Amino acid sequence: MFRRILIANRGEIAVRVIRACRELGIESIAVYSDADAGALHTSLADRAVRIGPAAAAESYLSSDAILAAAREMGAEAVHPGYGFLSEHHVFAAACADAGIVFIGPPANVIERMGSKISARQLAGQAGVPVVPGDTPADQSDEAIAAAAQRVGLPVIIKPSEGGGGIGMKTVRDASELAASIAQARREAVASFGDGTLYVERLVERPRHVEFQIIADAHGHVVHVFERECSIQRRHQKVVEETPSTAVTPALRQRMGAAAVAVAKAAGYQNAGTVEFLLEGTGDAARFYFLEMNTRLQVEHPVTEQVASVDLVRAQIQVASGEPLPWTQDDLAQRGHAIEVRIYAEDPARDHLPQAGRLLLYRQPSMPGIRVDSGVTEGGEIPVHYDPMIAKLIAHGDTREAARHRALAALRDYPILGIRTNVPFLIELLEHPRFISGDLDTGFLDTEGAALRARLSDDPPPDALAVAAIDSAPVGRATDQPDPWATLRGWRG
Amino acid sequence: MFRRILIANRGEIAVRVIRACRELGIESIAVYSDADAGALHTSLADRAVRIGPAAAAESYLSSDAILAAAREMGAEAVHPGYGFLSEHHVFAAACADAGIVFIGPPANVIERMGSKISARQLAGQAGVPVVPGDTPADQSDEAIAAAAQRVGLPVIIKPSEGGGGIGMKTVRDASELAASIAQARREAVASFGDGTLYVERLVERPRHVEFQIIADAHGHVVHVFERECSIQRRHQKVVEETPSTAVTPALRQRMGAAAVAVAKAAGYQNAGTVEFLLEGTGDAARFYFLEMNTRLQVEHPVTEQVASVDLVRAQIQVASGEPLPWTQDDLAQRGHAIEVRIYAEDPARDHLPQAGRLLLYRQPSMPGIRVDSGVTEGGEIPVHYDPMIAKLIAHGDTREAARHRALAALRDYPILGIRTNVPFLIELLEHPRFISGDLDTGFLDTEGAALRARLSDDPPPDALAVAAIDSAPVGRATDQPDPWATLRGWRG
Amino acid sequence: MADVTPLGNGRYLVADGEKQSLAYAAGPADARWVFLNGRVYVINTNRGDTPRKGQDDELALASPMPAKVAAVKVSVGQQVSRGDVLIMLEAMKMELPIRAPRDGRVKSIACQVGELVQPGTPLVELEHEPGGEKREA
Amino acid sequence: MADVTPLGNGRYLVADGEKQSLAYAAGPADARWVFLNGRVYVINTNRGDTPRKGQDDELALASPMPAKVAAVKVSVGQQVSRGDVLIMLEAMKMELPIRAPRDGRVKSIACQVGELVQPGTPLVELEHEPGGEKREA
């Protein structure tokens, strides 16, 4: 087992990995940009190294800075988290060259699966169905438009590199093709440095259902069941759950086998996720391989809660050469878990990202609730990075139990100083279609406006009364019994 | 299902029940004494009713005050939690007479199982082994002493009523008999208003292993596996876990069947716990019925984590007449859970209970950790009640994983302003005998002093450096970047 | 009016008849943040109403956060309709449109493509006369 | 000496060479509570040492908390040995013995059986001369 791991990430996922290291008795090394000098992950690790200025390109995305830190600190392994360098095959290769274990699959597997074209080829060869699509060798705008017509409208145009929905454009009408191709190309170049585009037929009302897989260096591959991630806004997942309301035992077995087949065909190692589009529900549903994410997933906790496994610890164990801690037969789903992502954004203003100081931040603590977060009260949400500040995961013996727990927890999750999507998530979890499990990836396109409309009410009298109390002149405060009064001297 | 439940308790268990009500859409009514006007349970419930002054006898132990509150508020049911009125059959009967559902077994079952004498008779009749013992009809000190000699030294002398270790005395030598009988009698009268004593042979190096059972009104009884509770100090449990390191599948089946047999013989309903002494480990171990607790147990969360059930919700469902949500075959253990009880006490001063203000209180929040607590930062720990302020429950796929998680969480659980046993618990979880699972109920008698000795070191330089920073004159604080500086205006 | 008891540390108990709720509050009097039953409100207690709501129309024409100007979609004097994109900003890996909060005419433009702008800095000034009766000289 | 950075809200980062830990502190200078690596220390920064430790011998002769005096086990002038029970208190459903912190002689007794006593109130005064050489007149 490693003695020292560098965590090449920030926020909640860096905190998650630091905690896993601590439980394993491994020294954790955080890296931080200037914007994160006071961040939770920076102070929580056993050691912390500054790697550059706030701009991600010069800090968390800088292979050189991170490798230099790893070498300087004597790290034996690097955990990349998700995002940033987690799917950069060049970084993975550079780690290997430096004699540092990259906690993830081999560089060539990342490279192959990172290209949607070669990933789809591989899935097809492994006998796993894929959505009809094309990446023209001629990448001119005209050739892309022609490919879209060939595949058949509606289509999605997306960067061949990258993920997370960046640069993905849906085209239903040929008149939109030129503008969408140009915009997708621009965002692809800006985000991934590669403007290669891929065209895919749009599956109408699909669900996004993905399978967690993990493989060791000894040829063992297991899947840890599905996650339903259909609730997305602009291809960013908002709510994830497991089991999926659409997946029956027979379908689960087929999809799980397909996910394992893809992983085996790829020579996969470590944790990864095979994403499918699902058309219909139940035994008769059809699924299509979408892509493979060659890293830990944001939504891994729902799998951990329902399968009673620790995926981050398993990642570290497998990377150190240990065999998988479980066989497929050891694994079972128990109960239901729902994750909601807490974003610093203003739902009432088109989900505009928010930055600023957390004047007050209190995480709910109650049975069946897990909060993975990277922030603390008084801390600053910087403008430079992803606005997701925490994930709340509810677990219960039934989907309704988990949903009610998530609602109770969100109603006890005060975040003040910046707007978040907590009120939006509450409305979402109360939506009749969510309650019935009638989901597809267009859910928020269809229902989002109605959900946001429910947020636009004025402060009720009770809220005005609360606001009035302490904004009264300070002298009045002595009228009220305040347990903090005696503490003021040292809090100043 | 009920629409409104009154919670006749305080602290963490009242909070636990309020949360369960909220998840079920049931209105919760808290009761509070004058000492708890600002307590968490008082503010968290949907409604709160003052029931009397700080003294428990005039508030939380007052059947009249609580029934009056229940009637006044229109509560359809009362959840008694543990302790206080939870095992008072007269209170249970009074609830029934008032047309209010007591969330627990029928009054006559409480009465019968509340007497160790009749509980043992019942267990014996059900074919479950009991520890040799006697309650002389002649309750004179001399007759008790004679009974002790008859049962055979060493013996335990204990009140026939009550529980929680109050008044229990171990006698190994005949010369100690007179003093121990007198003291047990005094404490029995003081605590339970009944001086009847019971004499029992002491099983040497026993483990305390108990089984959770739950029964509905339709004749279904299941057990939800065992809890190992051998780590006790003065008969107060400190650490509980499940599965027990001593229990094999075959033994679990035998003990579970015995627990269900006791419950069935008693005509039991709702959640209860059948306590056994276990001699030896594994398939050949012998177990003896000890007593039955006719209520929810403090340590119920370890069962909830490992069996993925919600016992409080099930209690409420069963009390409302619904059938049990699970059959025995539905239930399975997954992973391992360890609970440590956080007491307001000073381990370095013979675990002296502490009372006072929580200057700083931050609960750990991390994967696999659940904290059930009844306090908040700035709150007051009153002198009037039990000093247990919280329970920390760690869950992992193995016992070692759970243990490491508990340790990581305790090291991230600052409680300032009053002493707690957190440092003691850390030493305990690191003890080689705890690590190996070599436990018996004398563990803390044998190892406690050595554990406490490890706590007596002086503050290290790092702690002195931290203390020095903000105790410097306030003017100096401006030298340091303090993210809270901008907030001072409104915090004052 | 509800009965409010400060519990300390930003926590408040709000009682309305017999029903009660926990609330949280922080921030200065002119922008006091309140969390109640899962909702967040920003309240200006100096005026007795919500500053964010009242100022939304004006704020929409400033950047809400540090950002880069990706595109200026209008020119001075142009008539715009409610919802039209005036400026496109880039921040946090996303494109952020600044839209017209109502019909009007562009009075001035105070930013350039590529410029880094700070929150609150005016980017575009709109005149709110859809009919144009009070057009300036 | 370690390098300490206040992070706000009672949190501190302690760096010792390259290794760092999170610490928490609260309370006034003469009894500053510090949490570090799972341990709690109460430090008197006015004197640079720990008041609770230094005062334990004296405090042991006062009640540590509100309690009822259940028994007075000694009388004035009596020689006692370290560990002897002097007073038995009752609080929180438990018996709390007040023991002699070292050998000595009972100088005075300031409580009665049945009395409710407050924390810090002296219950017994001990003279700390086991040999008795400096016995008072």
Round to whole Å and give the CA distance between D68 and D87. 10
In this structure, the answer to whether residues B321 and B301 fall within a common structural domain is yes
Give A39 to chain B, closest Cα distance, Å.
11
| Cβ separation A43–D8 shorter than 8 A | no
Note whether D123 and D101 are within 8 A (CB). Answer: no
In a domain, B469, yes or no: no
The CATH number for B22's domain is 3.40.50.20
Total domain count, chain A: 3
Note the pLDDT of residue B449.
94
Which region among A54-68, A140-154, B150-164 has the lowest average model confidence (pLDDT)? B150-164
Note the pLDDT of residue D89.
81
Helix (H), strand (E) at residue A428: helix A422-429
Q: How far is CA C67 from the centre of its chain?
A: 16
Q: How confident is the model at residue D58 (pLDDT cuts 50, 70, 90)?
A: very low
In this structure, the answer to whether residues B145 and B185 fall within a common structural domain is yes
The CATH number for B295's domain is 3.30.470.20
Note whether B88 and B303 are within 8 A (CB). Answer: no
Nearest residue to C101 (alpha-carbon basis) of C78, C127, C122: C127
Round to whole Å and give the CA distance between A123 and B6. 58
Domain boundary residue, one of A153, A185, A201: A201
In this structure, the answer to whether residues B366 and B221 fall within a common structural domain is yes
In a domain, B473, yes or no: no
Beta-carbon count within 10 A of B22 CB: 22
Residue B16 touches chain A, beta carbons under 8 Å: yes
Provide the mean pLDDT of chain A: 92
| Cβ separation C8–B378 shorter than 8 A | yes
D-interface mutation test, from B466, B478, B490, most D Cβ less than 10 A away: B466
- In the numeric block, which tokens belong to residue B414? 């600052």
Closest CB to D20 among A48, A376, A377: A48
The CATH number for A186's domain is 3.30.1490.20
The domains located in chain C, with CATH, are 3-136 (2.40.50.100)
Q: Give the CA-trace dihedral at B38, B42, B48, B49, to 10 degrees.
A: -60
In a domain, A380, yes or no: yes
Note the pLDDT of residue C92.
64
Q: How confident is the model at residue D93 (pLDDT cuts 50, 70, 90)?
A: low
Q: How many CA atoms lie within 13 A of B90 on its CB side?
A: 6
Which residues have C-beta within 8 Å of that of residue A100, sequence separation ≥ 6?
A67, A70, A71, A75, A76, A77, A78
- In the numeric block, which tokens belong to residue B212? 């959770």
Residues present in chain B in total: 492
> pLDDT tens digit string along A259-283?
999 999 999 999 999 999 999 999 9
> How large is the average pLDDT for residues A42-53?
97
Residue of B nearest to C7 (CA): B38
Which residues have C-beta within 8 Å of that of residue A66, sequence separation ≥ 6?
A6, A8, A31, A51, A60, A78, A85, A91
For chain B, residues with pLDDT lower than 50 are 472-492
- DSSP secondary structure of C4-60: EEEEETTEEEEEETTEEEEEEEES-GGGEEEEETTEEEEEBTTTTB-HHHHHHHHHT
Neighbours of chain C (3+ CB pairs under 8 A): A, B
Note whether B357 and B379 are within 8 A (CB). Answer: yes
In this structure, the answer to whether residues A141 and A288 fall within a common structural domain is no
Closest CB to B465 among D4, D37, D46: D4
Beta-carbon count within 10 A of D118 CB: 10
Closest CB to B461 among D1, D23, D37: D1
Domain boundary residue, one of B157, B177, B201: B201
Query: If 0-12 CB within 10 Å is exposed, 13-18 middle and 19+ buried, where does residue A405 land?
Result: buried
Note whether D36 and D14 are within 8 A (CB). Answer: yes
Round to whole Å and give the CA distance between A79 and A2. 12
CA triple B41-B43-B45, angle to 5 deg: 70
In this structure, the answer to whether residues B48 and B148 fall within a common structural domain is no
In this structure, the answer to whether residues B338 and B425 fall within a common structural domain is yes
- In the numeric block, which tokens belong to residue B186? 């005094």
Q: Which domain holds residue B30?
A: 4-103
Phi–psi pair at A52, nearest 5 degrees: 155, -175
> How large is the average pLDDT for residues A302-325?
97
Q: How confident is the model at residue D51 (pLDDT cuts 50, 70, 90)?
A: very low
* pLDDT exceeds cutoff 70 at C131: no
Strand order in the sheet with C67-72: C94-99, C85-91, C67-72, C116-117
The residue whose two tokens read 């306090």 is: B375
Note whether B97 and B117 are within 8 A (CB). Answer: no
In a domain, B478, yes or no: no
CA gyration radius, chain D = 20
Complex ipTM over 0.90: no
Domain boundary residue, one of A145, A171, A201: A201
In this structure, the answer to whether residues A242 and A341 fall within a common structural domain is yes
* pLDDT exceeds cutoff 70 at A169: yes
Structure-model confidence comparison of residues D9 and A243, the more confident one: A243
| Cβ separation B47–C8 shorter than 8 A | no
Residue B18 touches chain C, beta carbons under 8 Å: no
Residue B331 touches chain A, beta carbons under 8 Å: no
In a domain, A123, yes or no: no
Which region among A227-241, A310-324, C47-61 has the lowest average model confidence (pLDDT)? C47-61
Using N-to-C axis directions, what is the helix angle for A89-97 and A107-114, rounded to 10°? Answer: 170
- In the numeric block, which tokens belong to residue B2? 């009920």
Round to whole Å and give the CA distance between C68 and C88. 9
Note whether B30 and B49 are within 8 A (CB). Answer: yes
In this structure, the answer to whether residues B182 and B228 fall within a common structural domain is no
> How large is the average pLDDT for residues A411-435?
97
* pLDDT exceeds cutoff 90 at C45: no
Residue A401 touches chain B, beta carbons under 8 Å: yes
Strand order in the sheet with D67-72: D94-99, D85-91, D67-72, D116-117
- In the numeric block, which tokens belong to residue B25? 């859409």
Note the pLDDT of residue B468.
86
Q: How confident is the model at residue A483 (pLDDT cuts 50, 70, 90)?
A: very low
Note the pLDDT of residue C129.
54
In this structure, the answer to whether residues B317 and B434 fall within a common structural domain is yes
Residue of B nearest to C30 (CA): B490
pTM, entire model: 0.81
In a domain, B440, yes or no: yes
Round to whole Å and give the CA distance between A176 and B388. 66
Structure-model confidence comparison of residues A202 and D47, the more confident one: A202
Structure-model confidence comparison of residues D75 and A233, the more confident one: A233
Bond before D101 cis per omega within 30 degrees: no
Report the range out of A192-196, A234-238, D111-115 with the highest average pLDDT: A234-238
Side chain identity, residue D16? D
Round to whole Å and give the CA distance between D114 and B179. 22
Side chain identity, residue A119? A
Which residues have C-beta within 8 Å of that of residue D42, sequence separation ≥ 6?
D27, D31, D32, D33, D34, D50, D51, D52
Note the pLDDT of residue B110.
97
Q: In angstroms, what CA-CA distances link D41 with A80, A486, B354, B379, D49?
A: 37, 20, 15, 20, 10
Closest CB to D34 among B166, B455, B466: B466
In a domain, A478, yes or no: no
Percentage with pLDDT > 70 across chain A: 94
Note the pLDDT of residue D68.
82
Closest CB to D26 among B360, B469, B480: B360
Note whether A316 and A24 are within 8 A (CB). Answer: yes
Report the range out of A178-182, B265-269, C57-61, C95-99 with the highest average pLDDT: B265-269
Note the pLDDT of residue C60.
46
Side chain identity, residue A398? T
Give B54 to chain A, closest Cα distance, Å.
18
In this structure, the answer to whether residues B197 and B211 fall within a common structural domain is no
In this structure, the answer to whether residues B211 and B192 fall within a common structural domain is no
Nearest residue to B117 (alpha-carbon basis) of B106, B131, B103: B131
In this structure, the answer to whether residues B44 and B150 fall within a common structural domain is no
In a domain, B470, yes or no: no
